[in-house]
Amino acid sequence: MTQPPEEQEQPIGKVSHFYDKIGVMAVELTDELAVGERIHVTGHTTDFVAVVESMQIEHENVARAGAGASVGIRVGEKARPGDTVYRAA
């Protein structure tokens, strides 16, 4: 039996917007995140794992971002505002 994400994974932010045409989600971070890390995005109808291959702040590529930053992350699936982003276990 698997545990709910919040029991085995650390929440690191919330999706604030999803840009459907370019497949990018805007995330308000509550913890640090770096390119190369795996994230798990969950919500009412959302549940997927992705590797952060690139991340941007104000249209500039960054390798790492800290708590309080608003970052854009390209993902292969649809995310929705309010979805929770976890650091994947």
**Which CATH number characterizes residue 37's domain?**
2.40.30.10
The band of 21, judged by pLDDT with boundaries at 50, 70 and 90, is: very high
Kind of pairing between the strands at 84-87 and 10-19: antiparallel
Q: Total structural domains in the chain?
A: 1
Task: State which residues form the domain around 26.
Answer: 5-87
Looking at residue 1, its pLDDT comes to: 40
**Cβ(76)–Cβ(50) below 8 Å:** yes
Residues 50-88: tens digit of each pLDDT: 999 999 999 999 999 999 999 999 999 999 999 999 999
Burial of 21 (0-12, 13-18, 19+ CB in 10 A): exposed
Residue 52 CA to residue 33 CA, distance in Å, equals 9
**pTM for the full model?**
0.89
